Amino acid sequence: MSDFDLAAYLAERRALVDAALERVLPAEDTPPATVHRAMRYSVLAGGKRLRPILVIAGAEAVGGAPCEVLPAACALELIHTYSLIHDDLPAMDDDDYRRGRLTSHKVFGEAMAILAGDGLLTLAFKLVADNAALARDPRVLRDVVTALADAAGTFGMVGGQVVDIESEGKTITPETLEYIHLHKTAALIRAAMRVGALLGGGGPAAVEAIGDAGRDLGLAFQIVDDILDVEGSLEELGKTAGSDARKQKATYPALHGVPASRREAQRLVAGVKARLAPLGAPAAPLGALADYVLERKN
Ligand code: GRG
């Protein structure tokens, strides 16, 4: 058993990320103020900060330091929060609660919620560009931008969301469900770990191994999310539970049942740890985060 103190690690890294997010977001009274208020409302509402912490842990796994990757870590959280704001819109999942508070469009209206999401996505790429000096080599910066764009765009998260929307109310195959989960969720988690490894100075083999581990961890994360939607509550989740079944969404539990879904998530996380093993002690935080993904309650 590892004696790694995950609770302390998460608290320290979360504090670093929260302070950095506070700094990089335009102030509430910076014109045009409404959109900046909306951007801050959603980003600073909390959340687990899993993706930025995975950027940091990805860098640490190859000997990098958190301060070198904080702008990229913030970029991941901004892209993630944009996707949540847009996913909650009436045209998509039409959800009222997120991160324990009313969704952006409920507070600021649909137009402003769309624009806040657009603003966050754009700001993410500006953050990476403004901190180009943190990349040890211009090719690393190019790879980071490509990883983010691929994960966020039509070959990643947007693509997964398209197929998810087109599948609502239909019977889909396990292969289509895996496509949705890999693109909608796992692509960004893979990018988080890969970007961390790239900026942390990892060589090609380490970057590849960490990226592959990120993909499998992302898939496990979404399977656990599907299970929590069946078993969790609004208080635990900070969003309405049972929404997948109400919207007739294809999920792992719907297709395979809860016990088999849990076994699949466990199998994936064991594989993640096996991929990380050759990296040794510096990858201990990533290994502990993999266990956290499996055991989380929100
Ligand atoms: C709208 C382009 C676009 C994409 C939407 C990512 C996504 C695709 C939608 C968000 C809703 C959703 C169910 C996504 C699956 C990934 C997921 C479970 C997100 C929630 O992530 P957490 O649990 O949230 O890490 P916090 O609030 O803790 O950051």
User: Is the shortest distance between the CB of 58 and ligand 1 below 6 Å?
Assistant: no
Q: Which residues contact 37 (CB under 8 A, 6 or more apart)?
A: 28, 108
Q: Does residue 161 have its Cβ closer than 6 Å to ligand 1?
A: yes
- CB neighbours of residue 48 within 10 Å: 15
Q: Is 60 in the pocket of ligand 1 (CB under 6 A)?
A: no
What was the pLDDT predicted at 277? 97
Residues paired with 102 in a beta bridge: 97
pLDDT (0 to 100) of residue 1: 47
DSSP designation for 29: T
The radius of gyration computed from the CA coordinates of the chain, to the nearest angstrom, equals: 18
Residue 51 CB–ligand 1 contact under 6 Å: no
CA 139 / ligand 1 centre spacing (Å)? 30
- Give 294's contacts (C-beta < 8 A, 6+ positions apart): 220, 224, 265, 266, 269
From the alpha carbon of 298, which atom of ligand 1 is closest?
Answer: 23
Second-level CATH architecture of 6-290: Orthogonal Bundle (1.10)
- Index of the ligand 1 atom closest to the CA of residue 77: 29
pLDDT at 237 (0 to 100): 67
Task: Choose one of 184, 223, 234, 294 to mutate for the ligand 1 pocket test, by most ligand atoms within 8 angstroms of C-beta.
Answer: 184
Mean pLDDT of successive 10-residue stretches along the chain, which has 298 residues: 86 98 98 98 96 98 97 98 98 94 98 98 97 89 97 98 93 95 98 98 97 98 95 71 78 93 97 98 98 92
Residue whose CA lies nearest to ligand 1 atom number 3: 83
Backbone φ/ψ region at 94: left (φ over 0), alpha (ψ -120 to 50), beta: left
State phi, psi for 101 to the nearest 5 degrees.
Answer: -135, 170
CB of residue 184 inside a 6 A radius of ligand 1: yes
Secondary structure letter of residue 32 according to DSSP: S
Instruction: Note the pLDDT of residue 129.
Output: 95
Centre of ligand 1 to C-alpha 185, Å, is 7
Cα(83)–Cα(161) distance, integer angstroms? 10
DSSP for 127-181, please give it. HHHHTGGGSSSHHHHHHHHHHHHHHHSTTTHHHHHHHHHHHTTS---HHHHHHHH
Query: Residue 49 Cα, ligand 1 centroid: separation in angstroms?
Result: 12
